[in-house]
Structures are given as structure tokens and as C-alpha cells.
Structure 1
Amino acid sequence: MEKTSMEVRPQNIRATMAFLREHAPFSNMDDGDLALFAEHASLRYFGDGDTVLSPEDGPVKTFNVVKQGRIRGERINPSGGQPETTFEISQGECFPLAALIGERPTRTLHRASGDTFCLSLNYDSFVILFSQSETFRDFCLRGVSSLLDQVNQHIQTSAMASMSPNTSLDTPLERYAQRNPIVCSPDLPVRKVVARMHENGVGSMVITDQNRHPIGIFTLRDLRTMVAEDLAALDAPVRQVMTPDPCCLSATDHAFDAALLMAEHHFAHLCVVDTDHRLIGVVSERDLFSLQRVDLVHLARTIGTAKHLRTLVSLRAQVSRLVDNMLAHGADSGQVVKIITTLNDVTVRRVLELNIQKQDPGVPFTWLTFGSEGRQEQTLLTDQDNGILFETPDGMTAEDVRKRLLPFAEVVTRELAECGFTLCKGNIMASNPKLCLSVEEWDDWFVRFIDASTPQNLIYSCIFLDMRAVFGPTESLTKLLGKIVSRIQSNALFQKMLAGNAVTRRPPLNMFRGFRYAPEGEKHTLDLKKQGLAPFVEAARVFALANGIGEPNTLERIERLASIGFFDRKDANAWKEAYSLIQAIRMRAHQQMLGKNQPLSNRINPDDLNPLDRRILRESFRQAQRLQQKLETNYLL
């Protein structure tokens, strides 16, 4: 029962407006609209356990904002027992929007949890505010989707700012310089210099001495001049036609310095050197003025046609800039992680192709990828989770094939590490003999994997049940995956074990609606991957496999489950939005870390987030709790 109700006094209007400005959607509303709310709102107090709204009260007549305390949503448990808590509403959050817009009673009992104060707006004032404030109206009609747009806009604005011309020209050259530039000695014939430039798709060659000090530069413009004016034969040493003493800047000089120098002297390339005048990179006019418009197709083609490993290593830096570009142009987190995964796939394929050209193992194989890359959900922080599947040729045994493939795989995994794909600490890599298997061996492995349901196998389920091919024939893998899904679908015990393992990754919310910090690592931080994304990933995997759905991507799994009617459409949309929000905040954190030259991490301190991000993170974690509750209801109760 409601204890008391008291009107907000005029002298408190300013304080009420200040409180509202700290929370969405009010943070984006005009002062006049906030003043209207504050002038017509009343402050109501509820003691612990008091009923705030009930389905028996009839159509809802107030719009409410929690000023202090919490509101708990309860629904009657059909099987009897204690009521089920369906949601919790904390400071700055609003209720009950759906019932108010629909002019109907609430379907959920709203109960105070602890001493609670709410700002309440009567129906007539709500209608006025709804009609005159576009921001408020959008929030009321779309709820979490509206908050998602605000977060994405914030991310987009931050990314756009990082790409602005002013910012780029103030950036040190070490960010723009092409690493591992192509170099040669002064005695190399011009013919070979041009051939090497062509192979690597570059417009300049730096000539260095034995200490890697730049002593000259040869460009396509120099080649045209040499041929047109018949200055030297193609077999002449490049020292005869190079531009000696090339212009150099240090890595700490700014892009503006380079641009000014290029404009003044009319050349298009600069050498970037360290404090000992050793060459560390080359920056071009195109780098300075076009790099922020990195094109996905062009970058993928460049990676896919690279002639040398060092070229792939240098190109990886452009993936981060492309992420900035995509975020700035409004791409959502699901699109961006697929773009990153696509470029990673292209890189892996090119490393494999280059090694086949050097030393073909002589047997066909399929390069498998597991985990986040298997789900096409990679961010810039990634390691290797890969394996090999092969058909055993006539006249050979599986062990014979392994003897050919394992040395090849060791070289590939080592070179992938050079490209930024760190070696897997758990040795989930194709160079591991246990993960270089024939089709029959993989099939037998999964039979034992599903039937045994050991603790180790349940840990492996987070990796190996999200699998796809990156290189090589796919027919055998398609058949294998079909068998795996069919076996899991008919094995209720394995599904239950998977569900039990999935709910061990609890979203990081404590019983008081605060954040529950990660147990290891830096204090007062959350692990957005293990604590935030994993509950969605693992729950969606269980439901998808139990329903015969083979897609590995988390958002696609949720969508498919909704399309077959297993998930309520509104629930599915809320879970997809929540997952995307956590992923978006994670990607933005990675971009900020890169901008500060910090090592990438999935951990963040929630105190560093703005109020909207903290609120949306709490709401997203709460949605993960709801998804896990459904998992427990279906499999564990």
C-alpha cells in the first residue's frame, strides 16, 4: 500500500530538472519541456514491499520516474510458488510505458524494493508532454530502441571526430606511416626495383645503406623521367637515377608538417625515421588526405593479392581505421564485427595461399575456425582458434596426411601471429595434432564429445560448436555439421548439460542492481566479453542447437528462433538490441584504447561511462538475466 504522496514544491523545480538531465531521454529534451514535467510532477514515497501499480487498478493514469530506490516487476508463477521477478527499475528509469500508451492496466504488479521515491506525472500532463516533445514521444513509442539510437549516435559522433581533417593533421606521423616499407640497396638494377614495386603494389622504393639509413628514393615519377629522357638503361644500378638524400621527418612530427613539406616541394612521399635516423616507414600524400576514407572492397582486394607476409602485416593497421570509418557512417555493431571477421578471413586465406605457393603439402584440406571467428563476431582483440579437416586420399592413412599438414600448419599459425592473431594459450590451433583430423576422425570426436558430456567437453562446447570453414572445400564440413546438430537435437541430456554450463556465466548485476565486478584482473572492472556477451552467446547456442538451427552467429540464431515461433518477437528484439549495445560499447572501448596506444582489453570500469551508457549497460545485462531465466525454466527447473 502506498504510504504517502507529496507535491514537488516550486523551489524544487530546478533540482528536479537537474536530476532529469542526468538520465535519458530527458538528457536530450529542451529546458521548456523539462520545466513542464517538473512543474506538474508530484513526489511519491513507497515503503519496502508496497504495491506501486497493480493489474487490478484499471487503466494506468500516471507516468513515473524512479528518483530513489527500485521498483520490482512481479508476475504470478503459473505452477504456484513465489511470484516471478520479470524486471527491476532503478534510478532515472521510467514506467509503465506500454500500458500508458495503450490506455490499459499494467499486466505486471509493480512493487517497491526498499524505500522508494518516484516522480509521477498525471495523464493529462503526460499527453501534453508527449505531443510537444519529439524526443520524449520517440522514447515512449520505442523504449530501448530509442536509447540504442542515442548510444549509436554517440559512438558515431566519437568516430567521426577521430576522422576529422583537423584531428588527422594533428596526429603524429607514426600513425600514418606505412610500416615495413619496401627497401633495396643502391646496387640493385632498376629493372628489379620496378619489378619489386609492382609485386608489392607501391609507388616508391626507399634505398638504404647497411644501417637502414635512407640514402635515396625512387618513385614511378622517376621511372617516367628516366625513360622519357633516356637517362639510364633498365639494367643500371638504381643509385644512378634515384633522388638522393630523401626528405625525412621523425615519427613524432605531425601530419600537418608532412602536408606542408609536400605542398612546398611538390613531392608525394616522405621517409619517417627514428631518433637514430633509421627508416621506420613511408608516408604518402594519399595516406594523409585519403586514409580516413579507407574502402572495404579495396582493402580486402589489397590484402587478398598481397605478395609478401610483410605486406599483410602492414595492412592490418588499416583495419582499425576502417572500423572508425564504418562507425562514423552509422554501421551497427553487428555489421562492424562481420566486416572485421571478413577482413580476418581474407588475411587467413592469403597467408594459406602464400604458404601453399612456397611449399604445397600436396593434399586438399579445409581450414576450420572456431569460437568468435566461427560466429563472425570478431573484434580487433582476437586470438587463433582453428583446425584442419581433410578427406584421406586413397593409398594414404590419416596419420600420413597429418605428417604433411602439421609442419605446414605450424608455419601458418606462426605467420598469423605476426599478422596480429595471437597464438591460442589453450593450443586450439591447426598445428595441434588433435585438431588436424580426417572427416571420420572429426565425426568420431563429436560422437564422443556429445555422449560423454564431461566438464572439459562442456568447456569445449563454447568453442567447437561454433565452427565454419575459411579455406578449402566445404562439402564434408556441411555434412558433418548436419550430423552434429541432429545428434544434439535428439540428446536431451546433452542439452541440459549445455544449459547448466551456460548459466554459470552470470551477467554482472548484484541483488542491489549495482555492477558485480569481474573476479580477476584490474579492480572495479567488468569483462564485457565473459560477463556481458557470453550469457547471450551461450544461451542462444543451446536453444538454436536444440531446435535444429545450424547458423553459428548469435544474432542470426536469435532471429531464427523468433522466426519459428520459439522466441516471442518482442523478447527476441530486446535480446538482439541488448547484445548489440554491449558489443558497441566494447568496440568503442577498443578504439579508444588504440587511440591511446594501450593494449586491447575487454575490461572497462563502469564509472568511466556516461550515465546513458551505464543505464543501457544495466538494461542489457538485465536482458541477459531474462534470457538465462528462460534457459533455466526450459532445462533446469
Structure 2
Amino acid sequence: MSKSDAFAEAGKTAVLQNIQGTLQFLRHYPPFEQMDDTELVFLVEHCQLRFYAAGDSIVKPEDGRVEYLYIVKQGHILGQRLNTAGSMENALDIAVGECFPMGALVGERPTRTDYLAAEDTFCLQLQREAFARLLALSPPFRDFAMRGVSSLLDQVNQQVQLKATETLGAQYSLDTRLGELATRKPITCTVGTSLRQAVQLMNEHHVGSLIMVDEQAYPIGIFTLRDLREEIANGSGDLAQPLDQLMVRDPFHLPPSASAFDAALAMTQRHIAHVCVVDDKRLVGVISERDLFSLQRVDLVHLARTISSATSVGALAALRGDIAHLVDNMLAHGASPAQLTHIITLLNDHTVSRVIELMIAQHGDPGVPFTWLVFGSEGRREQTLHTDQDNGILFEADSPAEAEHIRQRLLPLAREINQALDQCGFTLCKGNIMAGNPELCLSRQEWTRRFAAIIHAPTAENLLNSTIYFDLRPAWGPTEGYQALLDALLQMVADSTLFQRMMATNALQHRPPIGRFRDFVVASRGLEKDTLDLKVEGLTPFVDGARILALANGISESNTLERFRLLVAKQVMEAKDAASFEEAYHFIQLIRMQQHQHLEREGKPLHNRLDPDTLNTLDRRILRESFRQAQRLQNKLSVRYQL
């Protein structure tokens, strides 16, 4: 072989090695790990490797239409944008394996962001025409280009559901529409049907419910096997009596567009086992709890019913372990973190209500109407398996003397309730934010004065209290006094721009754990070394931001995601921003719940600290992006309140 041939052969080998090395690099990062070899080879063959020194501008708005896609191979990129105050701020933090500026390239427009090398950086550069050909060639790449992080979240959710399904064997998603599930024609009867005829119909068709309809096929009543058992137990035995004297009138119904989750939630809240599916005022189907959950598993409706009929605190405590199983079950059926926290909170509400009923039965009715208030995560309907008590009592009184008299009657019962809840897994609050505390067993006038003191004197302690007490709702008892208290709170916050500003300042204390030149900022010493706090550093920035903006704009809803949606409806927040915040919040909550499940299975105490090195590449990337969204929300608060 001649020297020139040897050089040529060595050159080919080097090129092949370089291609293989780049292919191996890309296979570690989404969306490239979802692409097949043909698509990746095309990408690599049409890429060039470019070097940028620290501080170099890579692409900026003044450059005009974007001509290249950049993939960070080594180094770190910052994306800067002009804020409403007219100054540049860091809007994006782009690490190894990520690409930019995708949106501008797809839209064939200039970028709105100035991309700078934060350190010496190497990027793979793909020219615009090759980018367009790759979009046509690769469905995973096209999906990512069009949907960004949303497409990656779909991958995560599919992996979570697949993992749970391997154990539980789910066959459908809780997002499945009722129109798809209610495929069997409902068995119906009309006015004049006797009990005997109803039982015969149910037996012939092997169904557990019979729907009575009017002339237009609208459901006017439902009769179930449970109703039949109760009738027999009551000793009537008159099979000739009309069914319309025994049935439950005006059965609950949902449209075909409603989801399986909507049906499950309704069954749980209303303690019913069947939901009618009505389209244009006409019965088209019936969904039963058996349709939603296999009898071989702990199911949501049965668990809620069992909790609400428990005969002792010990029985309730024993049922708490079933909720962890239920979370696995719901994940396998495609439940989102928001749905799961809603379900957990709903079951917790059933537990709280039953504990109150049992304690009243055991220790006597105080003879005074009262409302059991819940605060914090329970107030927001965002509880996970790891929770403690944050509660109080609201009652009506005409004078300070009467308020003190009522308080002394309620406090012994409140303390018994707090202790019983502790036995059921709701640990006692270390800060004594519990109804058994005299300072939290108050008349409506006293609660109003307490809230006014927090707002008019925004000390550090009061600002901390606002993050707990201002996420409130009633869990048991009359709601009229609560609504009046909430209306007063919203008016007081709206009237105090100083308090709003102080709340925003306080919210900025919980910074998301990402640094400028590394993936995550973790604890450097002690038992928490190399970990970050998913709740305080990840979820709290979203919770705080949503609370401030909601209270300032008269929004009474306490749930974080509902607050975002209502802020969009009031045009306080852009829909695109709210969607990004919701996705980020969902993902951090999902990682947190997975960690709680893992700890629960191993019998370890539940906590919120995570070592990010235990995550796979996809989860790390989306977690980092989710923390960036928290930073964006905090930046918006800074600009809005000029902080």
C-alpha cells in the first residue's frame, strides 16, 4: 500500500470513528435515543462540529432567519432575552445533549433569544435544509421539534405507566372517554315496572343496575343490587311493589366526552357505584365501578366507601396502607400526578370526615355547629403519601364572650380528633397548626382579624403563615361561614399592594436548585449531601407564584393548577406560560410521588430529598427544564412587583 493510500485509509478510519463516537453520544439524549440508526446516521453525516469560546455569541435576533440547529456536545449555553424592564436576563440554560433554537428554525424566523457560550463550548451544527429533511425522515425528531418538552413528558409518562402495568396489567387509561367504555347498550325500564320485573331483567342480562327512563330515554331513576339487598334486609319482600318507590331518583350522569377519571372521581365523592352516560338528554350507557377497576385490586370507589363506613379509628388506620397500592393502580391506568394528588386528598378528606364523626359519637356532640378547615397542601388538594396535619376550626359567634365559651366546648373534641388523625397516618404538626390549638379554633370574626393582622403587618412570621393559612378550604361542616371569610380575605389582599409585594419577595427565597455552570445545585454536607428538595426547591416556587397572583386577582380557587388556568382566563397570564408551568409542576410532582412509592415499598420514612444522579438521562433533562420553568415564574414575579 502506498503512503497516500495509507493516509487515505487512516482518514477514512478517523471519519468512521468520529461518526461512531457522535452516534454513541447522541444515543444518550432525548429525542435522539428514540430515533433509529438510519435517522441518526443522516443527522451525523450532515452535521459540522463548531467551537465557541466563552462569551461568544452563537445566534441572536439580529442575525435574521435562523440557518442552523445547534446541539451542545460539550460546554454550556445561556439564552438571554429582554425583559419588560428593558434589561437582559437569563431565560434559558442549555446543557450537553440539548439543542436550540428549535422553535425559530421550525417557524423559519429569527430567534427571540441571544444564545451565548457560557464557557468554551463545542456544538454540532445542522444546516436548515438538512433539518427540514430530518423532520420528514424521523417521526420522533419531528414530534420533539413540534412539541418540545411536552413530547419528552409523554415518554416519561409512558415509561411510568408501562412499569406499573407490568405489575398490575392495566388495559385502559383513566383518560379514556366514557363513550369508548360504555359500549354495551344499557338495560332500562319505564314507569310502572314492578320489583319482580326489575329483578328478572337484571338477572336475564347479568347486570348490577337497572335504569328507569322517560319517553325521551332520559334517566329518571336507578335501581341496583345494593338497593335490592337493602330491601330484602328490611324485610319487605313485596315483589309487586312499583320500582319507582324503591329506586334512587335523578341518577348522576356525565357526557360521553367525560373521562374514566371523571367517573371514578364522581363515584368516590358521591359514594355511588354507577354513573349514567347521557348524550343530548338521552341515556347511551352506564359505567360501573367494575368497569373501572378489577375486583382483584384495591379499587378507588370501594376504598372510599370502606373508609366512610369504618367503625373505629383502628380500622381507618389499617386502611391507610391500601392507598399506596392504589397509587400504583392509578399509575397503571394512566393517572397524572394532579389526578393522583386529587384522589389522595379526596380519600384523606373521607378519612378526616369519618374521624370527626367517630370522635363525636365517642365523646359526645358539642352541640355547636363548626367547620373543619384544612390548610397547606390539603387545602390545595395536593397531598401525597407524605403528609402532616394543618387544620383549624371555624364557628359563628355574636360576641367575644360567646366565642370563648364555644371555643372551650370545641377544644377537647378538636384535640381528640387531632390525636385520632395522627393514628391514621396524618402526623401531628410540629408547628402546632392544628384545630386543638386555641389560636386556631376561632370564630369567623376572629379569623378575619387574624388574616387582617397578617396582611397589615407582613413580618417574616406572618408571611410564612400566609403561605399556610391562605390555601384553605372546608373539609367538614357548613360552608357559609367559610365563604364569607374567604371573600373578606380576597378583598383585603386586593387592597394591599404592599402585602402582595412582600409575598412576592418572600416567594423568591425558594430558588430552584439549578446553577449557572452545572446541572443541579445540591447540598454539600451532612445527611442531605448530594441531594435537593423536590418540594421546597421544586414545587414551592410554583405554589407560591400561583397563590400570589390568584389572591391579588380575586381568585378563590386554592389548587395550584386551577389557579394557573383561572389566571389565563383573567388574562393575567399567557396560556403558553401556564401550560409550561403546569407541565413542569406535573413532572416534579411525578418524580416526588415515585420516590415516595419507592420508600414506602422499602419500609423507609417518606421524605422529599432526591439525589439527581439516581435519575436516567431523560428524567434529569426534564427535571432540569422543570426547574427552569420555576425560575421563569419567579422572574415574572420580580418584574411584576419590581423586585
Give the SS at the match of 1:479: helix
What corresponds to 1:42 in structure 2?
48
Q: Deviations over 1:402-430 (max 9, x none)?
A: 11111101111111011100000000000
Among candidates 317, 322, 325, match of residue 329 of structure 2: 325
In 1, Cα distance between equivalents of 2:62 and 2:634: 30
Task: Give the equivalent residue in structure 1 for 2:119.
Answer: 114
Equivalent of residue 355 in structure 2, options 351, 368, 380: 351
Separation (CA, whole Å) in 2 of partners of 1:532 and 1:498: 18
2:148 — aligned with what? 143
- Which residue identity does 1:61 align to in structure 2? E
- Following superposition of structure 1 onto structure 2, how do residues 320-469 of structure 1 map, counting pairs within 5 Å? 320-358=324-362, 359-392=364-397, 397-469=402-474
Paired with 1:428 and 1:400, the residues of 2 have a C-alpha distance of 21
Does residue 569 (structure 1) correspond to residue 594 (structure 2)? The answer is: no
- Kindly provide the CA deviation profile for residues 95-132 of structure 1, in whole angstroms up to 9, marking residues without a partner as x: 11111111111121211111111111122221222112
Secondary structure of residue in 2 paired with 1:427: coil
- CA drift of 1:392 comes to 2.5
* Offset, 1:71: 1.6
| Segment drifting more, 86-95 vs 580-589 | 86-95
Decide whether the 8 Å contact of 1:52 with 1:110 is kept in 2: yes
Please show how residues 10-409 of structure 1 align to structure 2 within 5 Å: 10-77=16-83, 79-80=85-86, 82-163=87-168, 293-358=297-362, 359-392=364-397, 397-409=402-414
Helix, strand or coil for the counterpart of 1:9? helix
Cα distance change, pair 290–329 in 1 and its aligned pair in 2 (3 A): closer
Residue 75 and residue 396 in structure 1: after superposition, are their counterparts in 2 closer, same or farther (change >3 A)?
closer
Matches within 5 A, 1:593-632: 593-632=599-638
Provide the residue aligned with 2:8 in structure 1.
none
Aligned position for 1:550: 556
Q: Which residue of 2 aligns with 1:188?
A: none
The alpha-carbon deviation at position 89 of structure 1 amounts to 1.0
Tell me the equivalent position of 2:478: 473
Kindly provide the amino acid, as one letter, of the partner of residue 388 in structure 1.
I
Structure 2 residue aligned with 1:516: 521
Partners of 1:96 and 1:30 in 2: how far apart?
23
1:561-590 Cα distance to aligned partner (Å, 9 max, x none): 112211121111111111111001100111
Query: Post-superposition shift, 1:86?
Result: 1.5
Question: Partner letter of residue 344 of structure 2?
Answer: I
Cα distance between partner residues in 1 of 2:335 and 2:576? 23
CA RMSD of aligned residues (A): 2.0
Deviation of 1:514 (Å) = 2.7
Match of 1:183 in 2: none
Q: Is 1:579 aligned to 2:585, yes or no? A: yes
Partner of 1:489: 494
Cα distance in 1 between the residues matched to 2:16 and 2:295: 55
1:292 and 1:325 in contact (8 A); partners too:
no
Amino acid at match of 2:309: T
Change (3 A) 1:77 1:387: closer
CA shift at 1:25, angstroms? 0.8
Per the alignment, in what secondary structure is the counterpart of residue 552 of structure 1? Answer: coil
Partners of 2:165 and 2:417 in 1: CA distance: 36
**SS of equivalent to 1:387:** strand
Asked if 1 retains the 8 angstrom alpha-carbon contact of 2:85 and 2:639, the reply is no
Residues 308 and 351 in structure 2, CA contact (< 8 A), matched pair in contact too: yes
Q: 1:526 to 1:293 in 2, by over 3 A?
A: same
What is the number of residues matched between the two proteins? 508
CA–CA distance in structure 1, aligned partners of residues 391 and 577 of structure 2: 34
Q: TM-score, normalised by structure 2?
A: 0.76
Q: Structure 1 residues 561-570 or 404-413, which shifts more?
A: 561-570
Q: Does 1:9 align with 2:6?
A: no
Q: What's the CA shift for 1:79?
A: 4.3
Structure 1 Cα separation of the partners of residues 523 and 406 of structure 2: 44
Separation (CA, whole Å) in 2 of partners of 1:76 and 1:308? 61
SS of the aligned residue for 1:52 comes to: strand
Instruction: Kindly provide the CA deviation profile for residues 65-110 of structure 1, in whole angstroms up to 9, marking residues without a partner as x.
Output: 1111122112235645x52222121111111111111111112121
Task: Please report how far the alpha carbon of residue 431 of structure 1 lies from its aligned counterpart in structure 2 after TM superposition.
Answer: 0.5
Provide the rounded CA distance (Å) in 1 between the counterparts of 2:430 and 2:400.
36
- Shift of residue 521 of structure 1? 4.2
Structure 2 residue matching 1:307: 3-state secondary structure: coil
Letter in 2 for 1:574: S
Quick one: which amino acid aligns to residue 544 of structure 2?
E
Q: Distance in 2 between matches of 1:104 and 1:10?
A: 35
Aligned-partner Cα distance in 2 for 1:484–1:516: 37
Quick one: which amino acid aligns to residue 90 of structure 1?
Answer: A
The 1:394/1:425 distance shift into structure 2, 3 A limit, reads closer
* Counterpart residue identity of residue 534, structure 2: L
* TM-fit CA distance, 1:133: 1.4
- What do residues 136-155 of structure 1 show as CA deviations (whole Å, max 9, x unaligned)? 11111100111111111122
CA shift at 1:505, angstroms? 0.6
Q: Helix, strand or coil for the counterpart of 1:72?
A: strand
CA distance in 1, matches of 2:386, 2:592: 10
Preserved contact between residue 352 and residue 412 of structure 1 (Cα < 8 Å): yes
The 3 A distance-change label for structure 1 pair 466 and 339 is same
Which residue number in structure 2 is paired with residue 230 of structure 1?
Answer: none
Matched, 1:532 2:538: yes
Residues 84 and 639 in structure 2, CA contact (< 8 A), matched pair in contact too: no
Q: 2:93–2:516: 8 Å Cα contact kept in structure 1?
A: no
Read off the aligned partner of 1:604 and give its amino acid letter: L
Q: Is the 8 A contact 1:73 1:108 kept in 2?
A: yes
> 2:475 and 2:81 mapped to 1: Cα distance?
47
Distance 1:521-1:369 versus aligned 2 partners, 3 A rule: farther
d(CA) in 2 for partners of 1:471, 1:79: 47
* Percent identity over paired residues: 55
Report if aligned partners of 2:304, 2:347 keep a CA contact under 8 Å in 1.
yes
> What corresponds to 1:265 in structure 2?
none
Return the offset for 1:511: 2.2
The residue identity in structure 2 corresponding to 1:560 is: L
Q: Which runs of 5+ in 1 are unaligned?
A: 1-6, 166-288
Letter in 1 for 2:148: G
Structure 1 residues 173-203: Cα deviation after superposition (integer angstroms, max 9, x where no partner)? xxxxxxxxxxxxxxxxxxxxxxxxxxxxxxx
Corresponding residue of 2:208: none
